[in-house]
Amino acid sequence: MSRIGNAPITVPEGVEISQTNGVVTVKGKKGELSQEMDEAIAMKVEDNTITFSRSSNAPEHRSKHGLYRALLNNMIIGVSEGWKKELQVIGVGYRAVAKGQLLELALGYSHAVILEIPSEIKVSTVSEKGKAPIVTLESHDKQLVGQVASKIRSLRKPEPYKGKGVRYMGEEVRRKAGKAAAKK
């Protein structure tokens, strides 16, 4: 029994859902998203709730039951409220500057790293004196926000000795003692 797959989704005001030829399209005030669905998973829209059912109890169908429910729920939240990820750039001399859809990062390399952010994502940076710069990514597509945030983080992952690098807001980095601790 899939607990996630059996949970109904409540559709908020201003969100339209349509299904044609196995493709579900969700429209809202923030944008439009579409997702191809497996024919083994049936979606039923009645009133303002969506329920999902599967054609059999095969392991493949059971796993997709919860998957498609979660994907559609993320799409509905995205087009109505949106998704947001924040990254901290921690390190001496590390900087982040957003210029339109270009993100310029100084991460301790000999050159600045310039990333072109997809047009669906709104990027902004905040730099306060004495604090680590914060990069904020906002969009209606959760998968795209996560993918871009992961790409930015992969440019300089947080290291365990000094804690320098790009990390998600609130991420805990386990610190290690350096060489001095080993001599005792």
Q: Say whether both 124 and 88 belong to one domain.
A: yes
| CATH code of 136's domain | 3.90.930.12
- Does any domain span residue 179? no
CA angle 54, 55, 61 (to 5 degrees): 60
pLDDT reading at 7 higher than 60: yes
| Final residue belonging to a domain, choices 64, 80, 96 | 80
**pLDDT at residue number 123:** 95
For residues 56 and 122, membership in a common domain is answered with no
Burial call 1-33: b when 16+ CB within 10 Å, e when fewer: ebeebeeebebeeebebeeeeeebebebebeeb
How many structural domains is the chain composed of? 2
Does residue 49 sit in the same domain as residue 22?
yes
Residue 183 pLDDT > 80, yes or no?
no
Calculate what percentage of the chain has a pLDDT beyond 70.
97
Mean of the pLDDT values across residues 136-148? 95
Q: What is the mean pLDDT of residues 129-140?
A: 94
**Per-residue confidence (pLDDT) for residue 122, from 0 to 100:** 95
pLDDT at position 177 is 87
Residues 162 and 92 in one domain: yes
Two tokens at 102?
A: 């270009």
Structural tokens at position 58: 């095969």
pLDDT in tens, 36-93: 998 889 989 888 899 999 888 888 888 899 899 999 999 999 999 999 999 999 999 9
* 114 is a domain residue: yes
User: Which domain does 143 fall in, by range?
Assistant: 83-168
d(CA 76, CA 80): 6
Cα of first residue to Cα of last residue in the chain, in angstroms, is: 55
Summarize pLDDT for 164-178 with one digit per residue, the tens. 999 999 988 899 988
Task: Note the pLDDT of residue 47.
Answer: 87
Quick one: tokens of 129? Answer: 């004196």
